[in-house]
Amino acid sequence: MFKLAFSNIIDDAEYGGKKGWEIKKDIIRIINDLTDIGVANIKQDFFTNGQPDQEKIKNYIRTIIENNGLGASAEEIIGSGVAASIASRRVFENSVTKVVESEVVDIETTGGSAIQQSVFGFVGKGNKNVKSQTGAYKINYNNGEELSWNLENGSMEVLLSMNFFKQVMPDDIKKKAFTEQKQWLIDHDFIKGTKTDGSQSDPKPFGVGYRIPTQGLSSMFAFTVADVMPESVGDLIIVPREFTAQTGSDFDVDKLYLATFAYKDGKYITEESDGKTKKSLSNQLLENYINLITDEKNYANARASIDVLTNKLKKDFVKGVIRSGNRGYIPSLYELTPSF
């Protein structure tokens, strides 16, 4: 996702009021700061006075032994301090690599994976009753209206499970009923609706979503939440009709990955309010991504159907260049030949 968002920036062009070169510089600064925080966390967990602490490392290795069921013999070898004697060293190497990657390399944000579903079945006639074989009912989500694929701010509307707002709400609001939680989100401009004072809310983009494989800017999107669904629906996201063609997705339980802004007690986390933390830095990173994805200059790349480019490559560039598949016996080392 980083590579794609970073690859099409024009230095002198403006994105969301910032010059391209400023966004580039800011993104690299943020990633460097996140790396430094990760390095500091590793040193805190495994070092003492600037040197690796053998006892801390042994304790971590014992945890690996317990979690992987390596047994008493492995514990005895670790007790003697000769880790190199253990047969299954790869378990330890992978575990150490994983803890370093999670702290130093990976960029973690709030959010998570969501099951993608089309808006089909969620659209009705606004407040009017919709007739069915069993009687009349109302479409309650987003007033039964279509989800906008392209809002004025360049994001798209989605319906989202309340699960993704638990990190946003203060503890006392989390204990309340769904309708009260929803009203709190409206009053604080997280979703559309009528506020307690009678005015209309003005929600802004809540984060960035992306599909894996992330094949282009059209696999990424900034989203504004039109309405929320109860926790009982699970981690569900409802997307506009156009979204399926945009990303080349289908209807076999596709997942979307959501990176959302971080909040604390209902307040947006900034470097000024929370210091230089992973959450405040990830918020800055998402702000830059949203500026890039939603800008009109990137509209064609960000919203064109991924099949447009795929078909172009197949018909105009690849036709006649790649041979048809070899269906016969494949000799040894065939993978090393130019024809492969």
What pTM was computed for the model? 0.79
Same domain (yes/no): 84, 126: no
Across residues 309-328, what is the average pLDDT? 63
In a domain, 279, yes or no: yes
Contact 243, 249 (CB under 8 A): yes
Same domain (yes/no): 73, 198: no
Least confident of 31-40, 70-79, 191-200, 245-254: 70-79
Same domain (yes/no): 226, 303: yes
Q: Is the pLDDT of residue 173 over 80?
A: yes
Residue 206, pLDDT score: 97
Least confident of 163-172, 211-220, 307-316: 307-316
Same domain (yes/no): 162, 305: yes
Same domain (yes/no): 118, 84: no
Same domain (yes/no): 254, 307: yes
Residue 2, pLDDT score: 78
In a domain, 47, yes or no: yes
Burial class (CB in 10 A: 0-12, 13-18, 19+), 305: middle
Contact 175, 163 (CB under 8 A): no
Q: Is the pLDDT of residue 17 over 90?
A: no
**Which residues lie closer than 8 Å to 198 by C-beta, 6 or more apart?**
none
Across residues 280-287, what is the average pLDDT? 95
**Which residues lie closer than 8 Å to 193 by C-beta, 6 or more apart?**
182, 183, 186, 200, 201, 227
In a domain, 4, yes or no: no
Q: How far apart are CA 338 and CA 340, in angstroms?
A: 5
In a domain, 190, yes or no: yes
In a domain, 161, yes or no: yes
Same domain (yes/no): 284, 303: yes
Q: How confident is the model at residue 181 (pLDDT cuts 50, 70, 90)?
A: very high
pLDDT per position as a tens digit, 106-143: 988 999 999 998 887 777 655 555 555 555 555 578 88
Q: Where are the alpha helices (DSSP H) in the chain?
A: 2-6, 20-46, 54-68, 71-80, 89-100, 171-174, 178-187, 243-247, 271-274, 278-294, 299-303, 306-312
Residue 137, pLDDT score: 52
> Of 252 and 43, which is predicted with more confidence?
43
- Please provide the DSSP assignment of 9-71 as one string: --TTSEETTEEHHHHHHHHHHHHHHHHHHHHHHHHHHHEETTEE-HHHHHHHHHHHHHHHT-H
Same domain (yes/no): 72, 118: no
Last residue of a domain, one of 51, 79, 105: 105
pLDDT per position as a tens digit, 208-251: 999 888 777 888 899 999 999 999 999 999 999 888 888 877 76
Across residues 151-168, what is the average pLDDT? 94
Residue 64, pLDDT score: 80
Same domain (yes/no): 171, 259: yes
Same domain (yes/no): 85, 150: no
Residue 54, pLDDT score: 86
Q: Is the pLDDT of residue 311 over 80?
A: no
Phi, psi angles (nearest 5°) of residue 64: -60, -45
Pair of tokens at residue 174? 């989390």
In a domain, 101, yes or no: yes
Q: How many residues does this entry show for the chain?
A: 340
- Determine if the peptide bond prior to 213 is cis (ω within 30°): yes
In a domain, 340, yes or no: no
Least confident of 4-8, 19-23, 169-173: 4-8
pLDDT per position as a tens digit, 22-47: 999 999 999 999 999 999 999 999 99
Q: Is the pLDDT of residue 65 over 90?
A: no
Last residue of a domain, one of 105, 125, 140: 105
Across residues 298-322, what is the average pLDDT? 70
Residue 203, pLDDT score: 96
Q: For residue 258, list its beta bridge partners.
A: 112, 209
Q: How confident is the model at residue 88 (pLDDT cuts 50, 70, 90)?
A: low
Last residue of a domain, one of 105, 136, 164: 105
Q: Which domain holds residue 15?
A: 9-105
Classify 308 as helix, strand or coil. helix
Same domain (yes/no): 218, 121: yes
Across residues 301-312, what is the average pLDDT? 72
Report the number of distinct structural domains present in the chain.
2
Q: How confident is the model at residue 145 (pLDDT cuts 50, 70, 90)?
A: confident
Same domain (yes/no): 166, 87: no
> Of 80 and 97, which is predicted with more confidence?
97
In a domain, 339, yes or no: no
